[in-house]
Amino acid sequence: MSHDILRDDQSLNGKRHELVLSAADNLVEARMIDHAKESGSFTITDLGRVAAKYYISHKSIVIFNRELGAHMTEERVLAMVSLSTEVSGFDQILRRYINGHHNDLQFDQIQVRDNETKELASLLELAPYEVEVSRKIA
């Protein structure tokens, strides 16, 4: 931000308005809100309501909107979910736990309790699929 912008708009109302509209455009693109530009009002969509309730980021919703299809295999669904910002890197985190790095089991929006980590590690060993995530998807 230049000094001229700060001089012309000391309270930064214009900059804040610009940031709000930019964030709103991202949420509209993800189909999480509707934006009536004439009135300036925002209305949450059902998808946005679900995402808010379950703490799903708009970046994950964009991935799901792009990748979700009617006839997907289990492997493809797991690959899509593994791209979400909430669980990306999950397998590496669990493998670090299995190898003794117990304090590393942390997620951005998912709280894992200490008594769940051993069960999660054993479930990882029983998983029927090894999901390969393609960076072309992400």
Residues 91-138: tens digit of each pLDDT: 566 566 556 554 544 555 566 677 777 787 777 777 777 655 444 333
| Same domain flag for 68 and 132 | yes
Number of domain units in the chain: 2
pTM of the model: 0.62
pLDDT for position 134: 42
| Same domain flag for 4 and 49 | yes
Question: Of 54, 74, 97, which residue constitutes the final position of a domain?
Answer: 54
pLDDT for position 100: 59
Q: Concatenated DSSP letters for 54-68? A: TT--HHHHHHHHHH-
**Partners of 45 in the beta sheet?**
none
Cα dihedral 128→116→135→99 (10° resolution): -90
Alpha carbon distances (Å) from 126 to 58, 81, 107, 116: 31, 18, 22, 15
pLDDT for position 112: 65
Residue 48 one-letter amino acid? G
What is the phi/psi pair of residue 34, to 5°?
-110, 140
Nearest to 92 by CA among 80, 106, 72, 78: 106
Residue 50's domain spans which residues?
1-54
pLDDT for position 98: 57
Alpha carbon distances (Å) from 97 to 79, 86, 93, 110, 119: 22, 18, 6, 16, 11
Q: Decide if 55 contacts 42 (C-beta within 8 A).
A: no
| Same domain flag for 86 and 27 | no
Least trusted range by pLDDT, from 10-14, 37-41, 54-58, 109-113: 109-113
